[in-house]
Amino acid sequence: MNKILAVAGVVIRELYRRKDFYVLFILTALMTLLLGGVNFFNDEQIVGYLKEFCLLLIWISALVIAVTTAARQIPAERENRTIFPLLAKPIARWQVLTGKFAGCWLAAGVALVVFYAFFGTVIATRERTFPVADYFQAGWMHWQMLGIVIAMVLLGSIVLSTPAANVTIMFIVALGILFVGRYLNTVAVRMDEPSSSIVYTLYYVIPHLEFFDLRKRLVHDWPLVEWKYIGLATLYAWAYIAVFLLGSFALFRRKALN
Amino acid sequence: MPAILRIENLRVEYRTRELRGSTRLALKQLNLSVNAGEVFGFLGPNGAGKTTTMNVLLGYVNPTAGNAYLFDVNVREPIARQRIGYLPELTYYYKFLTAEELLRFYARIFEIPRAEVESRIDRLLKLVELDHARKRPIRTYSKGMQQRAGLAQALINDPDLLLLDEPTSGLDPLGRMKVREIIQRLKNEGKTVFFSSHELGEVETVCDRVAILHQGELKEEGRVDELVRKYECNLEQVFLKVVGYQQQS
C-alpha cells in the first residue's frame, strides 16, 4: 500500500506543479463566481438556470482534469523513461498502475471538493442555505463517475499509441455514454437483428455514467437520494473500476517498455 | 564466496518489426555469476547484449529461456530488486521533483522506516555533493548534478549490489573521477558492483573481474590481472582481440 501511495503522491505533486491545472481551475471558479453573482430583473427563478450552468461547468472542468491527467501518466513515464529507474525498484507493474489511478482519482476528488465548496458558497449567498448532504451526495457520485473514467483512460493509455488519441477517444466515449447511453435500449427495440442484439449488449456492457449525475436534484432542490442507492451506485462504479484496472494490469504486464 | 548475481543459460529473442514474425537473437545461452564484494565489469561492443542482460536483471524484459537470479531470487519477482541499486546511463528522473523529494519517493518504494529516511537523504546528498541544491527541482541541475542525483537514488536503500549502466558516460573528467571514487568507496565497504562500460581504462582500474560479450555470446570471463597476463597486453587490447577486431596495417 505504501508503494501505491508513493506513486500516487508523485502524480498529485506533478499536477499541482503544472500551470494548466490552475488555469482551468481559476477559469471555472471565476465563471461560477460571475454567474452566481448576476441578477437578471430580480428574477429569483434565474438562480436555477445559473446553478445548472455552473454545475455543467464543474462537470466539464472535472472531466477535462481527470481525462488529461490520466491519459498522460503511462505515456509520459515511457517517453521520459522515468519508468526504468522506477521498475528497477521492488515495485510490480500493477502497483505502478494502481498508484497512478489512485493519484489521478485523489487529485480529481480534491478538485471536486474545492469546486463544490466554491459553488455551494456562491449559491448560499443567493439562497441563504448550504445543503451539505445534497452537495456530498452529488460530489460523491461525481467522484465515483470520474473513477470509472480515469480507469478507462488508463486502460486506453496502454492500448492506444498516443495520449492525444486516447484523450480524444475517451472524451467521445464518456460524453457519448453520458448523452446517449440511457437511450440505447429504446433504440435497440426499433432495430432489426443482429443490430438490435449488438446495441442491447452495448447497453448492458457500458458503464452508465449518467447514473452518477445528480445535478438536476441540486438545481431543483429535490430531496436526497436514499443512501442505499448511493451505496449500490458506488459498488457499481467500483466493479467497473476493477474491471478496467484488471484489463490494464493484464496488458501492461506484457507490454514492452522500449 | 556466494554468488549474488547468477545468470543461467539465458536466451533472449526479440521480434523484429521489419519482417513480421521473425526474431532476432540478443543473447544466447549466457552463463555468468558475480560474487559478493566483487567489482565486475560487463564489457562488449554496441549491440553485444549488455543492455539486454541489464534489462533482464531489472525485470524490464522476460527471458525467452533460462533464468537470472539476484540474491537467489528469480528476477521475475519484484522483491529480487529489494537489495539492489540501479544507475542508468542517462538520467531519467521526475524533473519536477527536488533531489530530496526524489530520494524520499524512492525510499517509500523500498519501505525504508520513516525515522531513517531523512538521515539517509542527508548523508547521500552530502556524499554526492548536492546538499546545496537539495531543494531545487532536478530540471535546473546540470548533467553532472543529475547523474550524481541518480547515484544518490541508487544508494538510497543501502544496496548490497549496484548495477551501473555506463555510469560515467557523458561526464567531464572531474565528474568521472568523483563517480570512480564513489565506486571505490563502495567496494571498500564490501558492496558488489556490476557495471557496463566502454571506458576500458576505468574498468581496468576499478574491476576485479570482467566478462566480454560479443554478438550475444560470452567470449571471455576472468580476473583482470589474469586476462592481461594471458593475452600479454592491456585490457583494451584484450577486448579488441576477443571481439575479433583486426587492425588494418
Do B86 and B135 touch, CB atoms closer than 8 A?
A: no
Average pLDDT over residues A77-105: 91
Is B218 strand, coil or helix? strand
Q: pLDDT at position A232, please?
A: 95
Cα separation of B178 and A64, whole Å? 47
B35: exposed, middle or buried (C-beta count within 10 Å: 0-12, 13-18, 19+)?
middle
Distance in angstroms (rounded) separating the CA atoms of residues A91 and B79? 8
pLDDT for the residue numbered A240: 96
Q: Is B80 on the interface with A (CB under 8 A)?
A: yes
Closest Cβ–Cβ partner in A6, A13, A258 for B108: A6
Which member of A14, A84, A256 has the closest CB to residue B88? Answer: A84
Provide the pLDDT for residue A20. 72
Q: Which residues of chain B have pLDDT under 50?
A: none
Contact A38, A50 (CB under 8 A): yes
Residue A60, C-alpha cell as written in the block = 466539464
Q: How many contacts, defined by CB atoms under 8 Å, are there between A and B?
A: 67
pLDDT tens for B86-145 read 888 777 888 889 999 999 999 999 999 988 899 999 999 998 888 888 889 998 988 888
Q: Would you say residue A166 has pLDDT above 60?
A: yes
Given an 8 Å threshold on Cβ–Cβ distance, is B81 in contact with A88? yes
Mean pLDDT computed over A191-211: 87
Share of chain A above pLDDT 90, in %: 36
Q: pLDDT tier at A7 (50, 70, 90 boundaries)?
A: very high
B-interface mutation test, from A89, A93, A254, A257, most B Cβ less than 10 A away: A89
Res A156: pLDDT: 93
Contact B94, A10 (CB under 8 A): yes
Are B111 and A87 inside 8 Å of each other by CB? no
Element (H, E) at A170: helix A163-180
Please say whether the beta carbons of B154 and B86 come within 8 A.
yes
The pLDDT score that the predictor gives to residue A37 is 66
What 3-state DSSP class applies to B85?
Answer: strand
Among A96, B40, A118, residue whose Cα is nearest residue B57 = B40
Whole-number pLDDT of residue A52 = 84
Q: What are B226's three cell numbers?
A: 589474469
